[in-house]
Amino acid sequence: MEIKAIIFDWGRTLFDSMLKKEFPESEKVLEYAQSKGYKLAVASLVSALANATLPERKSQIENSPLRHFFDFAAVTDGDKDLVLDELVEKLNLPRNQILIIDDRIIRGIKYGNRRGHPTVWLQKGKFENELPNEETGQPTFIIKSLEELLGVI
């Protein structure tokens, strides 16, 4: 498996939606990924669970100290799959070279599995008991903390 790009989920993966600040380990992980030459992107779905509005989420990402790590950022309050498709198109790489990282099995992991991406499920927090099933498929990797990603990439 040759990974050339990574699409990160934002809320509950890189950013603590409840405390409204970046997780402390996010910068270290993004610095490492960038130092390895990966193209990086971030995707975010603002839903009733997101604890933010669409303009607030866009502002969180654009004003974040993490923003400079990302080649592309996309936010939606609609269909996250469409935003992921948009980012994949912008990254302009084969899907099997773009790693998808998400804390939700039914969102990013399902998307990646159905479209031929390697996937990393960050199994922690609010959705850690949202287990894979036939519809979502199994993630390629399961990590319990974002820092464990350093051993994957």
Q: What is the pLDDT of residue 50?
A: 59
- Rounded (5°) CA angle 20-72-54: 40
**CATH number for position 47:** 3.40.50.1000
Return all residues near 68 (Cβ < 8 A) that are at least 6 apart: none
Total count of domains within the chain? 1
Closest CA to 7 of 69, 99, 81: 99
Q: What is the pLDDT of residue 49?
A: 63
Domain that holds residue 81: 5-151
Q: What is the pLDDT of residue 39?
A: 98
* E-state strands within the chain: 5-9, 15-16, 21-22, 39-45, 72-76, 98-102, 119-122, 141-143
- With a cut of 70, list the residues of the chain below it in pLDDT: 48-51
The pTM for the full model equals 0.96
